[in-house]
Amino acid sequence: MTVWTHIEQAIRKRILILDGAMGTMLQSYQLTGADYHGERFKNHATPLKGNNDV
C-alpha cells in the first residue's frame, strides 16, 4: 500500500492537517511591505511584511 493510499483512507475517516513549507516558498519571492498590505490592508496600522498568514 502506498503512502497516498494511507492518506486517502485517513481522509475518509477523520480531518487531517497537512503542513508544508509555504512560508519558505513565499520568502523566496522577496515581497515588500506593500505586497503584504495590498489593497485590503493598505491602511492597516501594523507592519505586515513577513506575515505569511495574510
Per-residue pLDDT of the chain (54 residues; tens, 9 = 90+): 899 899 899 999 999 887 778 888 888 999 999 999 999 999 999 999 988 888
Domains held by the chain: number: 1
In a domain? residue 53: yes
In a domain? residue 3: no
In a domain? residue 9: no
Residue at grid coordinates 513565499: 26
Q: Is the dihedral of CA 37, 40, 42, 47 positive or negative?
A: negative
In a domain? residue 1: no
In a domain? residue 50: yes
In a domain? residue 42: yes
Stated pTM of the model: 0.54
Burial class (CB in 10 A: 0-12, 13-18, 19+), 26: middle
Alpha helices (H) in the chain, listed in sequence order? 3-13, 22-27, 33-37
